[in-house]
A and B are shown apart, each in its own frame.
Chain A
Amino acid sequence: MPSTVKQPDRRILDHFLVPKHRILSLEEAVEVLNKLGIKPWQLPRISVNDPVIRLLGGKPGDIVEIVRNSPTAGEYVTYRVVVSY
């Protein structure tokens, strides 16, 4: 349940330590899951109460693409499933 208290400050999205999050469309999500050959719950998880997820309006079950900078690989793409706890 996304908290109804104050929304997080939008500016956190621009902070350099916060990686880029993007909620995938259903088609994209299915494609990612098929590529990896897994079910959603086998992905790493992220809470709906995570500030970035609240700002992006993620709901439990959504799959988020996170692109972070990596000192060794340049860019590292991960996927997480939004969960309600």
Chain B
Amino acid sequence: MSYGPYGEEERYTISGIRFSLLSPREIREMAKVTVIRADIYESDGSPIMGGLRDPHFGAIEPGERCPVCGNLRQDCPGHFGKIDLARPVMLPHLGEHIYRLLQATCRNCGRILIPNDKAAYMLQVYRRLKERWPVLADIFAEEVAKGASSTTECPHCGTKQYKLRLVKPYYLYEVREEGEVRLTPSEIRERLERIPDDDAELLGWDPKSSRPEWAVLTVLPVPPLSVRPSITTESSQRAEDDLTHALVEIVRQNERLKNFIASSAPESMIEEAWNTLQNVIAAYIDNELPNIYQLSHRGRKQLKTIAQRLKGKEGRLRGNLNGKRVNFSSRTVISPDPLISINEVGVPVEVAKILTVPMVVTPYNIEDARRYVLNGPYKWPGATVVYKKRENVKIDLRYQRNLRQLAESLEPGDIVERHLIDGDIVLFNRQPSLHRMSIMAHRVRVMPGRTFRLNLLVCAPYNADFDGDEMNLHVPRLDEARAEAEELLLVEKHILTPRYGGPIIGGRQDYISGAYLLTVKTTLLDINKVRELLRGVSDASVELPEPAILRPRPLWTGKQFISMFLPKGFNFRGRAKINAGDLKCDSEDCFYDSYVVVSDGRLLEGVLDKNTIGAEQPESLLHYLVLERGSEEGRRFLDTVFRAFIKMLELKGFTVSLSDVLVPAETMKRIKSMVANAKNDVIDLIRQYNEGTLEIIPGRTPEESLELRIIQRLQRLRDEAGKTAIDYMDVFNNAFIMARTGARGSDINITQMAAMLGQQTVRGRRITRGFRTRTLPHFKPGDLSPEARGFVAGNFRDGLSPHEVFFHAAGGREGLVDTAVKTSQSGYMQRRLINALQDLYVAYDGTVRDSENNIIQFRYGEDGIDPQKTYHGRAVNIDRIIEEVKNVTGGGAGA
């Protein structure tokens, strides 16, 4: 293993990759063995010469010397063999290409069906196109082929041309006057041979690397044994690879065909054997081609042949090349830890002892290095491997007896693979990695336990929760990588998202409730409470202001507490989330404390809730703080004040109980009568409908009109019932606080608990499914009344009746199906979008370019602005600048 810059070995740059057909000559030249025997082993168990395990395929057994190259198996690359086919066979996946080629060329002279001069001009155009826009050249060639195919008489030799018919995958028929005639692979090959190079080129082939006739095999290459290794089970039973099985079948059919020909068997038998051979070779290349007999094991399991190895999610391309497994990574369940910084990640000791970082010994760290070595591989913080520079040896500490002596012998220049320790930079990732915040750098904090610990505030960018989520952790090992991760990927640099120019990290759930409870007017903190809160905020070095109330004892407001952590000179004004409904205010003169004012770093009025400190809330207090004061200041705010929010909840105690959704009997009675009224209205609507006097909504049928009117009426009922119930609730009701501050739940949730569930819908309509003319046998056929069509008047507090449960489940199921469908569809869309955009980049001159340096945009986003550093997409916020100036100059007109 080497560290640091690349060694002296020469490096090459790949300038291009070309795919082409193997020529029979190449196949013959590279073949070291000709396979003629369909059996693999002799009766004594040794491989048969000229069979598919002939030793000339390369050394594979330990200690075996390759008869071809003389190497042991570590150094023998493996060698190809060949099967000489008794008759030519088409390459099955090239059927369409051959068909196109034959149709565009003369069946007699092989020339393209275009007059000489025109063809010459077109070839010139084609070559020019190929140079600059290869994709266009291909389209051009296709057009040329299309044009040539419609010619009925050869312009060169005058031969009449027939239409061809392709039966997939590779049967070609010539449509002559006397009927359809099948073209044998031999005939096809002869015709392809006659096509001159220039004509083939004009039809989109590259005859220098792939002559058309090579698409019809005369000799089949057999891959080396290392490509199709056999496995030996404990009972020393040999199991061959699927490819070997397929090749055995090919050899068998080939030999059968050979015998028929040699014994001049009837033409029909030869034909049959030939077709079988063709089919077997097709299956060897792709066992899932349509219209072929698939090769299978005796147990009728399909053979995995060449195409099956490459294709699909677990195939070579997607499974092994695009997606690889990596070292120095770890994966485990995540769990929350509100006490670590958002920049940190808790790593179990067990993991820290496996993941290592190379540490170059210098005079400055040699003491540390000695300590790590002394601790050895099993005691944290230790080391697993030492590279001695002078001796140029690698010492595995697991097998090292005398650690003390080794530690003593360390000298500058040695490299110690030490355990992960506190402060190391690691990359942390949760799939699906949909945006750049799905992989961020964290500082390690080694702790007991077996889970990765993360601060709750970073759940938002990862979209993580703790119901069993697992996450991956990677250790960058080189100094360069570590520096890059720290500077660019650290969590605090991603509090703001480039997606919409706002904070993606911020308060959620209990943080919001806590913030509200701390800042609400009724909260007054005595010195003990303040101390307790400050204790929750570890690195707080703040100055306690003069208490808001001095007697009978000093008391501070929650707003004063918050103000200790806001930077001087910071200003903000805006509406709180609770600024709605009865608590609406439009200015700072707000009785309900729902208009937030921060002046010079002091929270003067208003409560903090989702609109000011919430996650994914652009143009909020948190947003301006992070954007204008820098990510470090932002991180400090999140690591301190937010911890106080949680502490506040702990001090106060916060829960939701039955009593929170309890409504006085008198209110329930009112709701009941509202239900009765609505039902009467609906019955009246149905009556109108039956009489034909119902007012029809334009563009709707009478039935639709009725449904819409009923839904409307029932919607109104639920809204009113909800309002009645919620109006009754006091402002200290915890469910109410959560709904109104945006911490969790909504008015609808409260309505459903306290008042009624309301109309259940499937596909936006009242529930009509079930039996022929009714939803459930509880109802009369044709009953259109609310309760027969999924209206649930019950609530979660009192419980639902059986049919109500059923309707609710029907509506709930739809939601589940919707999310499942939506995620899979948007996931696929995202994948295609990323594939299309992945190698675009912003160049240093501000242009957007692709991998070939083609220009996509002359200035990134037309304005060259980084959306992460914007105010919700706007580069400058004039209002805020004006505010700023006003404050600096001493406020408005008076200045």
Contacts and interface: CB of A to CB of B under 8 A. Distances in A.
A and B form one complex: yes
Contact of A72 (B132, B847, B854, B865): B865
A7 interface: no
B858 A77 contact: yes
Contacts of A43: 854-855
Interface in B837-871: 845, 847, 852-856, 858-859, 861-865
A48 B267 CA distance: 60
Interface string A64-85: 0000001011001111000001
B862 A42 contact: no
A38 B853 contact: yes
Range for the number of chain B residues in contact with chain A:
10 to 19
B19 interface: no
B517 to A, nearest CB: 41
Contacts of A73: 859, 861-864
Interface string A21-40: 00000000000000010100
A42 B865 contact: no
Nearest to A42: B854
Contact of B858 (A41, A72, A78, A85): A78
B399 interface: no
A78 B857 CA distance: 8
A42 B858 contact: no
B133 interface: yes
Nearest to A79: B858
A42 B858 CA distance: 12
B136 interface: yes
A1 to B, nearest CB: 12
Contacts of B856: 44
Contacts of A72: 861-863, 865, 875
A76 B136 contact: no
Given A36-B845, A36-B847, A85-B136, A42 B859 contact: no
Contacts of A78: 858
A85 B861 CA distance: 28
- Looking at chain B's contact residues, the main secondary structure is loop
A44 B854 CA distance: 8
Interface string A42-59: 111000000000000000
A36 B843 CA distance: 10
Nearest to B853: A42
Contacts of B862: 70, 72-73, 76
Nearest to B874: A72
Given A36-B845, A36-B847, A85-B136, A42 B855 contact: yes
A17 to B, nearest CB: 17
A43 B852 CA distance: 11
B300 to A, nearest CB: 53
B858 A76 contact: yes
B135 to A, nearest CB: 12
Contacts of A36: 845, 847, 855
A73 B863 CA distance: 5
A59 B730 CA distance: 77
Nearest to A32: B858
Given A36-B847, A41-B132, A85-B136, A70 B855 contact: no
Nearest to A76: B862
17 contacts: A36-B855, A38-B853, A38-B854, A38-B855, A41-B132, A42-B852, A42-B853, A42-B855, A43-B854, A43-B855, A70-B862, A70-B863, A72-B861, A72-B862, A73-B864, A76-B859, A76-B862
Given A36-B855, A72-B861, A76-B863, 6 more contacts: A38-B855, A41-B133, A43-B854, A43-B855, A76-B858, A76-B862
Interface of B: 132-133, 136, 845, 847, 852-856, 858-859, 861-865, 875
User: 6 tightest A-B contacts by CB?
Assistant: A73-B863, A73-B862, A72-B863, A76-B862, A70-B862, A42-B854
